[in-house]
Structure 1
Amino acid sequence: MPEYPAISSSEIGSLWMTYQQKTLILRMLEYFIEKADDDKAKEIMTSLYQEIHPYVERIVVIFQEEGVPVPIGFTSEDVNPEVPSLYDNGFDIMFVRIIKEISMAMHTLNITMAYREDIIDIFRELTGITQKYYEYCTQYLLGKGLLPRSPYISVERKVEFVRDISYLGGFNPLTGKRPLNTVEVAHIYRAIETNTVGMKMILGFAQAAHEKEVSKYFAKGGDLAKSLIKEMSEVLLKNDIQVPSTAGGNVTTSKLSPFSDKIMMYCVSLFCSFSLGGNSVGTAFSQRHDLPAKLAVFMKDIYEYAHEGATLMIRHGWLEEPPQTEKQTKR
């Protein structure tokens, strides 16, 4: 066995976050696999489960060897595969696809904070697995007609350079706004697509949550996702760009939750963090001033919503602390 240096603080933190996320995914997959009504979808999810499960065990071994407390994460107590389906018509793969998109971002960031070869290997291998299953999910949904492609548009036939600062404009009602460019369309549509899946997820959570205040919190999140979808869709429509509709992934009438409130709250927190990051990228690459302004308002609302959720989780004892720095004894 090779000898490695002691684990660093950033490596502990990134492995801890990975453990939380992977145990969440495993519990969600256990339910979706049990309820899958399509053989191909079940095959994708079962194979994914089998590939990522060993990485949870590898993290446990590293923590035990380094004397780091093994996190609780999410266990069999957080899932009940026996209850009726909460979603139907392809939502399982829609959810897995978004989770894999979140994982790609996390593993890419985590690999930049790792120094030990064994830990770098974990994130490199997880990145490969994530990309593979993201592609599987995308092709599955396209084949089933459950994933509309981003809008098709006509583009200029020659290369142009920006020659006037008005290109950046967006506020002057007299001069109007220039047409959206393809980079801006891409980020706007991605926000619509991910929030549509997130809205369906959280409305199902609201319908089945055990605690009344948690149900109300989820319903509020559903309204927030709806408002973002509406606002961004209007931006496209004002540019004569039709917004493709997302079919399938419906919430059923079941009010029996397959998941604990704890795991659903953490899942929503994960989606909020992902949304904040995605909107930040969209803001950075939008060159029309009105678009970052719109996204900034939503980022503020999402941040406040996430903070409200963290407060709710603390009140119920659901928010697990990352490993803390040891307190120094004063002399």
Structure 2
Amino acid sequence: MDNQELKLTSAEIGTLWGEYVNGTAVDMINKYMLSIIEIKLLFEDAIKIFATHKKQITQFIENEGFPVPIGFNESDLNKNSKRLFSDIFCLHYLHIMTLHGLLGHSTSLSSSVRKDLRHFYDSCSNDGMNMYHRTTELLLEKGHFQKDPYFFSGGNPEFISGQKFINGFFGDNAL
């Protein structure tokens, strides 16, 4: 079905609106961090990627006759403020925000009907996965990736018989 025949649904407008406002907030933080850090390439790329996404979101919203959200902009950014964060903190921030973006894009995709919008969220997810790999590799390289704890096998599986497995949970004499 042609996209011209399908109007954006309320869910689609809502996800675009959320992507725009959240994206502009993260964009301003990324621009601040870019101004204070030495690890610039990832932040420059993140800013460029969002500029492309922002343009596409704006087109979707305007084509439906809705006003574009105000969002956050350069007036919300004080590039002359003192440095507040280390490069490693900024890298962790970008990594975590990338994870949030991946979750948001997949949620937005799941509520999208129009083909052009679904392709847009596919593209956003691909950009996010690429950034996730890049931030992970850089954090690993710098020795700052927070890995999950390891799990060591206790041997063979056992079947539960009775309620002794509860001992220690409610105290030694729970049963």
Deviation at 1:161, TM superposition (A): 5.2
Tell me, what secondary structure is at the counterpart of 2:172?
coil
Q: In 2, are the aligned partners of 1:4 and 1:116 still within 8 Å (CA)?
A: no
Q: In 2, are the aligned partners of 1:108 and 1:127 still within 8 Å (CA)?
A: yes
What is the aligned partner in structure 2 of residue 9 from structure 1? 10
Identity %: 23
**1:154-165 mapped onto 2 (5 Å cutoff):** 154-160=152-158
Q: Does 1:115 align with 2:113?
A: yes
Q: In 1, are the aligned partners of 2:32 and 2:79 still within 8 Å (CA)?
A: yes
Q: Which of these residues, 169, 172, 175, is aligned with residue 174 of structure 1?
A: 172
What is the aligned partner in structure 2 of residue 21 from structure 1? 22
- Equivalent residue pairs, number: 173
More displaced 10-residue stretch of structure 1: 157-166 or 111-120: 157-166
List gaps (5 residues or longer) in structure 1: 177-331
**1:20-169 mapped onto 2 (5 Å cutoff):** 20-37=21-38, 41-160=39-158
Deviation at 1:45, TM superposition (A): 1.3
1:7 aligned partner, one-letter code: L
What TM-score results when the alignment is normalised by the length of structure 2?
A: 0.87
- Give the Cα–Cα distance (whole angstroms) in 1 for the partners of residues 93 and 105 of structure 2: 18
- Give the Cα–Cα distance (whole angstroms) in 1 for the partners of residues 132 and 117 of structure 2: 22
> Deviations along 1:79-134, whole A, 9 cap, x unmatched?
11222211114111110111111111111111111000111111111111112111
Deviation at 1:70, TM superposition (A): 0.7
1:127 aligned partner, one-letter code: S
Deviation at 1:56, TM superposition (A): 0.7
Deviation at 1:150, TM superposition (A): 2.1
- Give the Cα–Cα distance (whole angstroms) in 2 for the partners of residues 43 and 70 of structure 1: 29
Deviation at 1:157, TM superposition (A): 3.5
List gaps (5 residues or longer) in structure 2: none
1:16 aligned partner, one-letter code: W
Report the RMSD for the aligned CA atoms in angstroms: 2.3
Q: In 2, are the aligned partners of 1:64 and 1:70 still within 8 Å (CA)?
A: yes
Distance 1:175 1:77, change over 3 A: farther
Q: In 1, are the aligned partners of 2:3 and 2:116 still within 8 Å (CA)?
A: no
Deviation at 1:159, TM superposition (A): 4.2
**1:253-292 mapped onto 2 (5 Å cutoff):** none
Q: In 1, are the aligned partners of 2:3 and 2:114 still within 8 Å (CA)?
A: no
What is the aligned partner in structure 2 of residue 251 from structure 1? none
Deviation at 1:163, TM superposition (A): 5.3
Deviation at 1:154, TM superposition (A): 2.1
- Give the Cα–Cα distance (whole angstroms) in 2 for the partners of residues 17 and 169 of structure 1: 48
